[in-house]
Every structure is written in C-alpha cells, then in structure tokens.
Amino acid sequence: MLSDLVKRLDDSALTRIGVIPWSAPVPCFGNLPSSQIATLGLNPSNREFVDGVGHELDGPHRRFHTLKSLGLARWSEVTTRHLRLILEACRAYFLRNPYDAWFKTLDQVISGTKASYYEPSTTACHLDLIPYATARKWTELTSRERSSLLALAGDTLGLLLRDSPVRVLILNGSSVAQHLQQIAGIRLDRQRMIDWSLPRRKQSHVVGFAYRGTVRHLAGVTLRREVMVLGFNHNIQSSFGVTTQVRAAIRRWIARVAADAVP
C-alpha cells in the first residue's frame, strides 16, 4: 500500500489539488501494529514538513522523509529500502520530534483509556483520512479539492484499519466525523453533551456533540471486524475557547464508552 501511495505522488493531479509534491505519504503517526486506540484527523499538517516560514525541516528538526532526505529526484526512483525508511519514520514519530503543540492535547483526551502515543508500549497511534500533507490547511482547500483527495486516497484508512488491531477510532472534530460518515456510508449517533458547551461572552454558547457508532466497511474495504467509532464536534487544538473542563469531560466520556471495546 505504501508503494502505491508513493507512486501516486508522481501524478500531477495530486500537485494540482495542493499536495506538497516532495513530501512522503504519512500512513500513520506511531506504531499502528501495537495500537488498539487510534485518533483520526483530516490530513497531515504542512508543519510536519516545514517550519513557520515554509522552509523544509532538516537535521534534528525533521519529522518525516522527503525527496531531499531520501536523496531522490523523483518518487519513481523509490526502492524497498526507501519504503522501509519512510515506515520507520512513521513508527518512531513520537520518539523523536513530534508536533507536540498538536498531539499533546489529543493525548490527554484519550489518556482515560490508559492509552498513549508517548508511552514505550505505544498503545495509541494517529491516523488521517488522507495520508498526504497539503500546502494549505484542509479548511482552505476548495470542496472540489477535498473531494478529489478523498477520491484518490480515501481507501487508505480502510486498508490500514483492516490490517491493524485497532478497536476504537476517535474522531477529532465535526469535519472528520462528516467525512468518515461519507466514505463509510454510515450515520453516527449524535448526542448533545451539556457539559461540553463552549462559553461565549456576547454570543450563544457553542454546543458540544458526541458521536458514536460502529464501522465494518470503509471506502469499499471490509474491515473483517467491527470497530467502535467515537468522536466530538470540537476540534480540540483549534476550537476557540475549549476549556480544561470541557477537555476533561470529553476525556471521561471516551474512557467510559471505550471500556466496552478495549479491556
């Protein structure tokens, strides 16, 4: 599967819809084969590959491989050795230079399950709907660009889950929930959570919602088992006004409900 994802990078269609052409695909963050809990986002941030002014991360700051780090001129030159290096960077992500500004908060939310990205046992990992980083944020892409990305790589998540031990998939934000339902052809239960509301001084509070359901098929891929799906509508890292109390309430809910799926 990784070989196929890499080959797709030589297709100009991906570049036209905003994918950073010199960045390697990121099938997972952390050690998927040892994880029963996986969080789910939209796609890798460009900050996994560039600094605040757009320069490629290098040396000890590098997180994932690129054409430059692999010594390649184009992705068609990739060998089995290069694929191993790309996978190793994914597996060791949280042991080197993770993007803590994004992942630390999410790790706290799932910590009630006793899982963590950062523990030596790496009982949790992170996945994305799309394994390619884009130069612009997902919200800045046009609806056509987002649809094209899902059409070109939307089966990746199903293939990864099918061959993994993941039993609980945790969705970070309403956009993730929306797109997962689309590619899975399911409708998640949505419940209003009073203690998840975000306070606003001059406006109505932002209502908090919990998502819950199960999935057996994703983008035409049969998972061979039932995976529990849990989620929350707030984007924990970027929603304005997500308080410590709201994060704690989400953490307690995930811990309680996920206990049915993870011993």
Q: For residue 84, give the nearest of 92, 95, 96, 76 by alpha carbon.
A: 92
Is pLDDT above 70 for 256? yes
**What are the tens digits of pLDDT across the range 117-173?**
998 776 899 999 999 999 998 889 999 999 888 888 888 999 999 999 999 999 999
pLDDT band for 14, please (50, 70, 90 cuts): confident
Give CA–CA dist 103/172, Å, rounded. 11
* Dihedral, 243, 247, 248, 249 alpha carbons, nearest 10: 100
Per mean pLDDT, which range of 1-5, 32-36, 64-68 is the poorest?
A: 1-5
Give me the residue spans of the domains in the chain.
2-258
CATH of region 2-258: 3.40.470.10
CA distances from 169 to 126, 148, 172, 177, 261 (A): 9, 24, 10, 11, 11
Measured between alpha carbons, how far is residue 229 from residues 25, 28, 97, 210, 263 in Å? 24, 18, 29, 11, 16
